[in-house]
Structure 1
Amino acid sequence: MVLGWWDRIEETLVGLLGLIALVIGLLQVIGRYIDPARAISYAEEVIVYLIIWAIMIVSSQLVRRDGHVRPDLVLRLLPSRALRIVEIFNCLVAIVFCGALVWYGWEIVDTSLLISETSSTDLQFPMWIYYLALPVGSALMLVRYIMRLVRFAFFFDPATMTVGQVLHDEMPGGLSPPLTDR
């Protein structure tokens, strides 16, 4: 139940951030052709901030859906016991990495707040808001990796927890998916 809400909130936020970036870009392009003197000078900056926030939020969804870059071809060849060990190791490494990103990201945010850093454009945007995307996105991924670790460590089911599940309809040229004896 909580995960469903969490997913919907993340997906809604990412959609809104993308939509706002699109509208700002559209307004800037139209404004540049109608009245170049009054075009939004800082539109590109705001679009970058919005897209960075969207990317950091959606990275949590990629953890949930196994969407991050990984060697699926190699993982498919492993027996279920080895796959479980590799996935647990992957989760542990990712947890340490995401934890380091949260800590480092917070250090950057704290420093930016301390020196009252703002962007160099006319907007004078507070940079700590931009930098906050790193610890927030990393914390979201960290929680997802912890959930994934618990699932693989304590609730592993080799019948349902396979890597790179392929539907017959998705196979190119009528090929059948590889047989697995897991």
Structure 2
Amino acid sequence: MLKFLDHLEEWLIASLMAAATLITFVAVVHRYAAGTELLHPLVSHINLAWSQELTIYLFVWMAKFGAAYGVRTGIHVGVDVLINRLRDKNRARFIVFGLLAGALFTAIVGTLGAAFVWEIAHTDQTSADLEVPMWIVYLAVPCGSLLMCFRFLQVAWAFVKTGSLPKHDHAHVEGMDDEGGVDNWYALDDNLHPHDVSRRGDKK
């Protein structure tokens, strides 16, 4: 079930990004084509005034689900210089507190967002260009926030059980295997993420 949710999340983000990029590209080409004497008669009757609005909505949905994906994969950046200097026991407490605080915050945002969507759904409010019901647009807030809340709880539970946090190697390219004996010069041991409990020798 979790693997299905992971794949659905990834495909949804990729599809939204691809759709927004394609629509933006078509709109730009149409704008420049309409400004030329040769192509103006062919494209002037095509109305793409809705493209900017749709692109914005697609990026909003992508950002909300992308934030949840970031929690699951550990790509969110945080400055944790002080936390990484703490002993394992204290560092673990701060990490769990931070994850649970994130879960609480996103749960509140998701709940308030759901209440707002429920109110908007009982009105006739529509978007300016697409004229779609605005509750569909605002639905990104509760859906994305509650998914992000679930990811915070998922990471917190895994950390309590294993002492490890999800890591994202910014230098890794998907589909390319590391060659044996070659060091990754870009995989720096920085303080942008909390260290795993198991990385420190002291257990006090």
Residue number in structure 1 paired with 2:3: 4
* 1:95 alignment partner in structure 2: 103
Q: Quote how far apart the aligned CAs of 1:110 are.
A: 1.1
Aligned mates of 2:186, 2:200 — CA distance in 1: 16
Structure with greater contact order relative to length (CA < 8 Å, sep ≥ 6):
2
| Aligned residue number for residue 144 of structure 1 | 151
Alignment-mate amino acid for residue 12 of structure 2? L
**Cα pair 2:64 2:140 within 8 Å, conserved:** yes
Question: Which residue in the other structure is 2:67 paired with?
Answer: 59
CA contact (8 A) 2:96 2:156 kept: yes
Query: How far is the alpha carbon of 1:69 from its aligned partner?
Result: 3.4
Q: What do the CA deviations read for 1:86-111 (whole angstroms, capped 9, x no partner)?
A: 11111221121011111111122112
1:116 aligns with 2:131: no
Structure with the greater alpha carbon radius of gyration: 2
TM-aligned CA deviation for residue 141 of structure 1:
0.8
Query: Could you tell me which of 52, 55, 59 is aligned with 1:44?
Result: 52
Structure 1 residues 40-89: Cα deviation after superposition (integer angstroms, max 9, x where no partner): 00100000001110111111111112222322333322222112101111
Q: Secondary structure at the match of 2:113?
A: helix
- CA shift at 1:17, angstroms? 0.7
| Pairwise CA distance, 1:25 | 1.1
| Conservation of the 8 A alpha-carbon contact between 2:88 and 2:200 | no
Residue 170 of structure 1: how far off its partner (Å): 3.7
Q: CA deviation at 1:32?
A: 1.8
TM-score by length of 1: 0.82
* Deviations 1:1-60, CA, capped at 9 Å, x for gaps: x33322211111111111111111122112223334524001000000011101111111
Shifted more, 78-87 versus 161-170: the winner is 161-170
Contact 2:23 2:51 in 1 (8 A): yes
Name the counterpart of 1:81: 89
Asked whether the 8 Å contact 2:75–2:168 carries over to 1, the reply is no
Structure that is richer in helix per residue: 1
Q: Structure 2 unaligned segments of length 5 or more: list them.
A: 34-42, 172-182, 192-198
Give the Cα–Cα distance (whole angstroms) in 2 for the partners of residues 7 and 116 of structure 1: 35
Please list every run of 5 or more consecutive structure 1 residues that lacks an aligned counterpart in the other structure.
none
CA offsets 1:133-173 (integer angstroms, 9 cap, x no match): 010001111111111222233x143xxx269788962448x
- Count of residues in correspondence between the two structures: 174
Paired residues of 2:13 and 2:65 also in contact (CA < 8 A)? yes
State the SS of the aligned residue for 2:184.
helix
Is contact 1:99-1:138 (8 Å) kept?
A: yes
Q: Are the structure 2 counterparts of residues 55 and 170 from structure 1 closer, same or farther at C-alpha, using a change threshold of 3 Å?
A: farther
Q: Contact between 1:84 and 1:156, CA under 8 Å: does it hold in 2?
A: no
8 Å contact from structure 2 (residues 155, 165) kept in 1:
no
Kindly tell me: are residues 110 and 143 of structure 1, through their superposed partners in 2, closer, same or farther at Cα, counting changes over 3 Å? Answer: same
Paired residue for 2:201? 181
